[in-house]
Each structure stands twice: as structure tokens, then as C-alpha cells.
Amino acid sequence: MIAVTRSVTWRIAIGYGALFGLSMFALLVLVYWSAAGYMTRQMEAVIEAEVQGLAERYRSAGLRGLRGLVAERLDRNPASSSIYLLADPGFRVLAGNLTGWPEAARSTERWIEFRLHAADDAAARPEVHRARARHFQLPRGYHLLVGRNLRDLDEMRSAVIRAVAWGVGVTVALGVAGAWWMRRSVAARIESINHTSRRIMEGELSERIESHGSGDEFDDLIAHLNAMLERIETLMEDVRRVSDNVAHDLRTPLGRLRTRLEQLRDAGSDGASAALAEAALGEADQMLATFNALLRIARIETGRRRHAFERVDLAAIGNDVADLYAPLAEARGITFRHSGIEAPVAADADLIFQSLANLLDNAIKYTPEGGAVTLHVTSDDATVTAVVADSGPGVPPGEREAVLRRFYRLEPARAAPGSGLGLSLVAAVAQLHEATLTLGDNAPGLIVRLQFERAG
């Protein structure tokens, strides 16, 4: 239900069906009241004419003539729904088809309604119907009541109500069906855009959204989106081309500079010159490492290596990384522990190794002597998780997203060697593998979780 309420297409479909149903309901109700009102007015007009005719007979032929006319009309059509009743000033019945003067008819109102108990031989008890009549007072105090049994009108109204109910039901059903079809059509177009967007986010920048050729607003939107994607791909190719040119133009001079610094250091110059050459050599190495890290992150973010994923054991990779960094932790006086169970994932083994190496390198670099660093690889039926924790200063909650950006470094870390690209590479690898990267508080220290989908 929550998914339905969050879906724009479902809300449009439901709203369209409800509006369509309410509109038809209002229309049918208006038809019903118009028809019922017309029939009621027609009935009252007929009763009014009959009253005037009977009153005229009373004035011309007297009470005897009026009684004869009432009896004649009743004899002519005994099963008629007409009601005739003539009573003296004390409301004693003189003629008509009712056994007594209705209590409601004693009112001074011109039009009255009362209930009739009609006997039915086939029924266990008499039926009760509504009746509507016109009360007319004759000269010398006599009373004349002319009306109609509303049974036929009530049955007609019931039939109309049933027709309205069926009409509304069918209309709502058709409206919901039409809204569902509309929702399905819109959802299919949106899903086409979403599918292409997911492919592009996975690195397939050449993907384009398919147009239906209908020339509607969706096709217009798709045309603009495809033009935007074309422009983005062009810009990305330009950036990649610039990166390749930079790699070609700068990597070789930096390599030559490093070689000459080594020659200067080994040339047997005085101690001060050798120290300067050694320092410059370190700076050159740092520039080369930063440059290589930037290029590697850029290549990872393009997603071009997803096709090369293989089934690998994350625990085995973790063991290799642990074996590499255990001596460094021991040399710094840091307690290092690691563990892992079989944890199959579909991944690029080299990139996973580099990510875990970066995490351990940071953990050992910022953990003081006497501290502890751990690497654990766990697995369940659905996920595989690598957890690196340390007892260092940690990362404040407000800066845990910022440290994943390129070149971002916390103030205490700016004095330490590094370029601020280690966690950026880990984030890029996690995005490429559709893994979840989270940074948390180890109290004290930092705990980093890298969670992958378990390979089948």
C-alpha cells in the first residue's frame, strides 16, 4: 500500500477513476431527481384537475351527484391507484375506497402524505405503501380527499436507484480500467527512462532512451534527455582524452625528473646536496603516486571494467592484504587482528585488494602506538561485508561524507604524508561494484564497512 501511495502513476490513476466515478454519480443523481420530480409534478397536476372536477360536480349536482361520480370512478377501475374519499363535517366516510379518514388528512395542509395498508391475499400481512393526496373542503363543511397510491412511483424510484447504482458501478469499473491502462502506459514509458538511466549509471554512456515516435510530450522529453546525454558523453570523452594527454605529456617528464634526482643523489655530492636531492625525490614520488591515483579513480568511475568481474573470495583477498600490512602494524607497535570466512562476490580482485589496502593503510597510519586495528570479513545468505576498525582519532559525523571526496583531508591529517585520495578510491570501487560503504564510530576510532551482494 505504501508503494502505491508513493507512485505518481498510481495516484493519477486512482484520482482519475475517482473523479470519473464521482462525475457520473452526480450526473445520474441529477437525472434521477429530475425524473422523480417531473413524475411527482405530473401526478399532482392530475390530482388537482380531479379535485376541481369533483368540486364542480358538487356545486352542480349536490352531494348525491358527487357521491355518484366517486362511485362511478371506483367501479370503472377498481385496481386503480387513485384514492377518493368523501366525508361529512365530522370526518365520517360517505363514499370512497378508504375505510376511514386518515389521521394525517385532518391537517389543514393542502398536500398531505400518509400510509396505506393494502391487503394482499398472497401475503402473510398487508403491505404498507405511501400515499399522497389533496385535501379539499367543500361547502357546508364536507371534506373531499383525492390522491394516489405512491406504490408505482416508489417502485419506479427504486428501479431508477438500482439503475443509478449499476450505472455508477459500471462507470467506476470502466474508469478504473481506463485509469489502470493509462497508468500502465505511463509507467512503461517511465520505466524505459529509468532502465536507460540505470545502464548509464553503470558506465554505458552510449545508451539512449528509446522513443515511441508518437510525437507526444514523452517523446519531446526523451529527445531533450537524449540530447543532454549526448552532450554529457561528449564532455566525458573530452575529459578522458585530456587525461590521456596529461598522462602522456606529464608522466614521462616526471619519470625523467625522478631519474635525474637519483643521479644527483648518487653523484657523490656533499651531504647537503644529497639531502636536498633525496627530499626532491620524495616529492616526485608523491606527485607520481597522486597522479596515478587520480587516473585510476577516473577509470574506475567510468565503469568500463564491470564486464571483467569474476567470482572471487573476499576473505582470501582480505588475508592477502592482512599479510602485507601485519609487519607494518607490528613495527608501529599496533595490535593487528584479522579473520574471515568464505565470502564469494562478483568483483575485480585487484580493485578490491587496493580498496582494503587503502583502508588498512589509513587505519595503521592514524592509529597511535599501543592501539589496535582489525580486519574482519563476514558473510550471510545475501551479503558479504568487510569491516576495518581502528582505535585512532576517528572522523567526526559531520565530515564522514566529505572525506570520501578527492583531496579532502581533516585538519589533524594535513601534516601527515598523503594526498587525500585513499578513501576516494574506495568510494569509487564501492560504486562500481554497487556495494555499500559506511563510516561509523568505533568509540574510539573509525569503523568502515564495505558490503557487497553475495555471489550465487
Whether the Cβ atoms of residue 189 and residue 211 lie closer than 8 Å to each other = no
Which residues share a beta bridge with 115? 130
Q: Residue 310's pLDDT is what?
A: 84
Q: Render pLDDT for 204-253 as a digit per residue (tens, 0 to 9).
A: 777 888 887 777 777 888 888 888 888 888 887 777 677 666 656 666 67
Confidence of residue 292 (pLDDT cuts 50, 70, 90): low
Least confident of 21-25, 116-120, 136-140, 257-261: 116-120
When pLDDT is averaged across residues 132-149 and rounded to a whole number, the result is 84
> Can you give 151-213 as a three-state secondary structure string?
HHHHHHHHHHHHHHHHHHHHHHHHHHHHHHHHHHHHHHHHHHHHHHHHHHHCCCCCCCCCCCC
What percent of the chain is predicted at pLDDT more than 90?
Answer: 4
Q: How would residue 108 be classed by pLDDT, with cut points 50, 70 and 90?
A: low
Nearest by Cα to 93 from 129, 146, 137, 144: 144
With bands split at pLDDT 50, 70 and 90, how would you rate the model's confidence at 376? very high
Which DSSP letter does residue 305 get? T
Provide the pLDDT confidence category of residue 123 given band limits of 50, 70 and 90: very low
The model's pLDDT over 392-428, given as tens digits with 9 standing for 90+, comes to 888 888 777 777 776 556 655 544 555 556 677 788 8
The per-residue pLDDT for 121 is 45
Cβ contacts of 306 within 8 Å, gap of 6 or more = 202, 203, 432
Query: H helices of 302-419, where?
Result: 314-331, 349-366
Are 105 and 131 in contact by the 8 Å Cβ rule? The answer is: no
Residue ranges of domains in the chain, CATH in brackets: 2-157 (3.30.450), 217-301 (1.10.287), 306-453 (3.30.565.10)
Buried b (16+ CB within 10 A) or exposed e, 125-140: eeeebebbbbbbebee
pTM here is 0.47
Average per-residue pLDDT for the chain: 77
Look at residue 342 and tell me whether its pLDDT is greater than 80. Answer: yes
pLDDT at 454 over 80: yes
Q: For residues 114 and 103, give the distance between their C-alpha atoms in angstroms, rounded to a whole number.
A: 8
Q: Above 70 in pLDDT, residue 344?
A: yes
Confidence of residue 23 (pLDDT cuts 50, 70, 90): confident
The share of the chain scoring above pLDDT 70, in percent, equals: 78
- Please report the pLDDT score of residue 406 as a whole number: 60
Break the chain down into helix, strand, coil percent, rounded to 5: 60, 20, 25
CA distances, 287 to each of 40, 97, 283, 296, 424 (Å): 98, 116, 6, 14, 17
Residue 147 near residue 132 (C-beta atoms within 8 A): yes
Beta-ladder partners of 134: 111, 146
pLDDT of residue 396: 80
